[in-house]
Amino acid sequence: MRAPSPRAAGLLVAATAVALLPLARTWGLQWGASEDELDARLAGDDIITVPGLVATRGITIRASAEQVWPWLVQLGQDRGGFYSYDWLENLVGLHIHSASRIEDRWQGLAEGDEIHLAPSAALAVTIVDPPRALVLTAPDASFSWAFTLHPGRDRTTRLVVRERYARPRGWAVPINEVVGSVSTVMSRRMLIGIRDRVEGTVR
């Protein structure tokens, strides 16, 4: 049987990649979340009632919600960081340094406070409901970011994080998709980073 030409092989690879893109997109936007969590109404969902893009991701943590909560409260560029790929964030000058322990100085958080993503970009704290929900919102209400904690099985906690993006104008749709793809990479690492820090502290 004759091997395919390099051109034919290249076309086959490209066609396969295009066919798998929708699956990869769905996997990224729903990483770690159960069907029930995808369908659930979470804190902050009413901020953007008709979103153009929604990402719901989750992870199981072997700890109580009360033990997870302090790590969420200290999120922020000038606080405990985002527990993700600091080196990647710092390549674009975000000056992120993720904490390896809970710091009392970052535990005070109230509605109306700001959480910085970068020195010149911040989200408003919209909901603080310890130890159940922390919701951050863009100043123009174009984006909401909800961190919610739910009792799991065998004394575990489910951390479910939801991003909701306002429906963009036609020209901005590709931008939302790019942001969603970047968010998949960073959010997955963030969830793992939170889990590992909490469980390491509990042990």
Tokens of 162: 């939801």
Q: Does the domain formed by 33-202 have CATH 3.30.70.1350?
A: no
Mean pLDDT, the chain, whole residue set: 86
Over residues 47-75, mean pLDDT: 96
Q: What residues have CB less than 8 Å from 49, skipping those under 6 apart?
A: none
pTM, to two decimals? 0.85
What pLDDT is attached to residue 24?
60
The closest alpha carbon to 126, from 139, 142, 108, belongs to 139
Please identify which residue in the block is written with the tokens 């000038």: 78
Are 116 and 77 in contact, with CB atoms under 8 Å apart?
Answer: yes
Are 142 and 165 in contact, with CB atoms under 8 Å apart?
Answer: yes
- Res 13 pLDDT > 70: no
CA-angle at 58, arms to 52 and 62, nearest 5°: 165
- Of the ranges 44-53, 89-98, 115-124, 140-149, which one carries the lowest mean pLDDT score? 89-98
Chain mean position to CA 33:
12
Question: Rounded to whole angstroms, how far apart are CA atoms 199 and 158?
Answer: 13
